[in-house]
């Protein structure tokens, strides 16, 4: 039955795929730069380059949709062959692949890959179709962060959406599964679709954009790539420490032993570091300034390498190793302040962003659509984030009074689907709500 359903989904995707020849007379494809994400947006537009909103498209009987791709590098993320990443997409049935074709071509030689944080079944089907059925699209293989396929660091990439999405179910993918997964590929192709659209007069590129936007986006991309280049130095690894002051060995606490593995003997003193300070702040509830260090690989290896714990990757460097390395552990300086860390954490993930740019309504949303989208996104951020962390009280303490109040509202009004309301999930949600209320000083 599973394979029948999978084949039926492939059949629907193949039968419904639209091409440039199917575009109605009054519909174009627009391209804009995404200033905040150092990326681009491909969307169905009118003759003036304005995004065609869903309700307007339905009334006119024309397609609507958009694909946004960004530069995922930075903040300690792996290089992923320096590919661009689709982080937002939606389209009327059958009209998504045409936008994906244009996005892949715009990505150029760097290529395009799937979202590393979340992925719908529909998006997975598109990537699977590109891998299995599109001979005109070239594929480059990605590896996991454990170097299962190659010893090179440049092809290392996150596997979260590869093992979360059908048909994979385990958290550790084998070499065969990595090779088979369409999510572990970077896709490139020649600009055939763009050239066709230009010849038809149906491509509107960067409408109303001045040179400053192009410079801003290109400079941000360049800075991100510089950070990745430093991180890929063969002899050292870029790691971050979060705290009020630069890193120095501290006594090992009982909480540290919770992090340790049974086969490890925890040192008397040590320093926590991470290649991804955003995840540590987000899921471990750690706040403070962020300090950057270049750490020799022999130090990392001697301390049993990095470990994935509670959705964050960390290493605990013993005080003995810290003293032994001395100046070999190079202090690169303060990367950001505590306030800047909080802002970047909120902007990137499940906490509601306070940054000005992140709360601004995009031009293609109506007020009603933006309100629905914002509320849905807010609920998902609170539900996913607070359910997943093992440091619940610490994370809740990082929330402002208004954020705690909003979280209480979300967890007080959960509507479980027919297959969602498991006993364990309900008990977890009840415990989260109780902790939120007690922290907020409310009576249950």
Higher pLDDT, 109 or 224: 109
The CA-based dihedral angle spanning residues 281, 124, 129, 199, taken in that order and rounded to the nearest 10 degrees? -70
Q: How confident is the model at residue 191 (pLDDT cuts 50, 70, 90)?
A: very high
Q: Count Cα neighbours of 217 within 13 Å in the Cβ-side half-sphere.
A: 20
The CA-based dihedral angle spanning residues 250, 256, 262, 268, taken in that order and rounded to the nearest 10 degrees? 20
Question: What are the tens digits of pLDDT across the range 358-379?
Answer: 445 444 445 665 565 565 555 5
Question: What are the tens digits of pLDDT across the range 55-80?
Answer: 888 888 899 999 999 887 554 578 89
Question: What are the tens digits of pLDDT across the range 402-439?
Answer: 778 888 887 887 776 655 556 777 788 888 888 888 87
Higher pLDDT, 99 or 367: 99
Q: In what order do the strands lie in the sheet with 269-273?
A: 250-251, 269-273, 312-318, 307-309
Q: How far apart are CA 69 and CA 42, in angstroms?
A: 9
Least confident window among 8-22, 49-63, 391-405: 8-22
Check pLDDT > 50 for residue 384. yes
Q: What is the pLDDT of residue 230?
A: 59
Q: What is the pLDDT of residue 365?
A: 47
**Inter-residue contact 227 to 266 (CB < 8 Å):** no
Q: What is the pLDDT of residue 36?
A: 63
Q: How far apart are CA 330 and CA 325, in angstroms?
A: 10
Give the chain's mean pLDDT: 79
**Inter-residue contact 32 to 48 (CB < 8 Å):** no
Q: How far apart are CA 77 and CA 158, in angstroms?
A: 8
Q: How confident is the model at residue 132 (pLDDT cuts 50, 70, 90)?
A: very high
Higher pLDDT, 186 or 326: 186
Check pLDDT > 50 for residue 153. yes
Sketch the domain layout of the chain as residue ranges: 2-223, 236-342, 349-440
Check pLDDT > 60 for residue 189. yes
Higher pLDDT, 318 or 307: 318
Mean pLDDT across the stretch 219-241?
73
Neighbouring CB atoms inside 10 A of 175's CB total: 11
């Amino acid at each position: 039955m599973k394979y029948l359903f999978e084949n039926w989904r492939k059949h629907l995707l193949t039968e419904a795929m639209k091409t440039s020849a199917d575009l109605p007379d009054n519909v174009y494809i627009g391209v804009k730069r995404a200033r905040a994400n150092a990326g681009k947006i491909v969307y169905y537009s009118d003759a003036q380059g304005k995004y065609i909103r869903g309700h307007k498209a339905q009334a006119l009987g024309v397609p609507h949709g958009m694909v946004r791709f960004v530069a995922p590098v930075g903040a300690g993320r792996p290089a992923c062959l320096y590919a661009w990443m689709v982080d937002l997409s939606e389209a009327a049935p059958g009209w998504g692949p045409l936008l994906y074709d244009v996005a892949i071509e715009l990505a150029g030689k760097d290529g395009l890959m799937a979202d590393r944080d979340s992925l719908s079944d529909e998006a997975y089907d598109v990537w699977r179709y590109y891998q299995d059925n599109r001979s005109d699209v070239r594929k480059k293989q990605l590896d996991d962060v454990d170097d299962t396929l190659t010893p090179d660091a440049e092809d290392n990439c996150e596997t979260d959406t590869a093992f979360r999405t059908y048909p994979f179910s385990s958290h550790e993918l084998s070499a065969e599964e990595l090779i088979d997964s369409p999510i572990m590929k970077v896709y490139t192709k020649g600009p055939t679709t763009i050239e066709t659209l230009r010849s038809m007069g149906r491509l509107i590129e960067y409408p109303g954009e001045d040179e400053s936007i192009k410079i801003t986006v290109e400079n941000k991309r360049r800075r991100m790539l510089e950070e990745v280049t430093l991180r890929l130095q063969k002899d050292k690894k870029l790691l971050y420490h979060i705290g009020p002051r630069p890193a120095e060995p501290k006594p090992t606490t009982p909480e540290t032993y919770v992090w340790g593995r049974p086969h490890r003997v925890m040192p008397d003193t040590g320093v926590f570091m991470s290649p991804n300070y955003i995840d540590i702040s987000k899921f471990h509830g750690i706040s403070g300034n962020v300090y950057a260090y270049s750490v020799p690989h022999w130090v990392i290896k001697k301390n049993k390498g990095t470990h994935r714990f509670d959705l964050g990757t960390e290493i605990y460097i013993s005080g003995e190793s810290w003293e032994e390395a001395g100046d070999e552990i190079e202090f690169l300086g303060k990367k950001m302040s505590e306030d800047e860390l909080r802002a970047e954490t909120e902007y990137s993930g499940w906490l509601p962003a306070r940054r000005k740019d992140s709360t601004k309504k995009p031009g293609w949303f109506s007020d009603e659509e933006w309100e629905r989208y914002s509320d849905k996104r807010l609920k998902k951020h609170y539900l996913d984030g607070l359910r997943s962390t093992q440091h619940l009280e610490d994370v809740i303490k990082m929330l402002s009074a208004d954020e705690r109040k909003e979280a209480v509202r979300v967890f007080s009004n959960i509507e479980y689907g027919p297959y969602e309301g498991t006993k364990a999930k309900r008990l977890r949600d009840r415990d989260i709500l109780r902790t939120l209320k007690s922290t907020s000083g409310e009576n249950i």
